[in-house]
Amino acid sequence: MPLYKKAKNFDEKELENMTFDECYELLLIFRYLQFREDRTIEKNLINARMELLRKRMLELNENSTHYKNFI
């Protein structure tokens, strides 16, 4: 699935089953979308989803390859 579609179709219910790396990837996609000009996804929705992802990543607290970069 293209990354944009993955972000656009993101369902908060899926968050419980996501790994740290999946959350990190999606967080990076939302960060990119924050600075896009087309605004197809509302900025406040992007910010809310990013906050949910950050909380989930802290819950997982895995020794992931990206965890050190996240902190």
Render pLDDT for 28-65 as a digit per residue (tens, 0 to 9): 999 988 888 767 788 889 999 999 999 999 888 755 56
Q: What's the whole-number mean pLDDT along residues 1-17? A: 85
At residue 48, the 3 state secondary structure works out as: helix
At residue 6, the 3 state secondary structure works out as: helix
pTM over 0.75: yes
**Token digits of residue 63:** 């020794």
Please give the Cα distance from 31 to 42 (Å, whole number).
Answer: 13
Domain boundaries in the chain?
Answer: 19-64
Q: What's the whole-number mean pLDDT along residues 16-36? A: 89
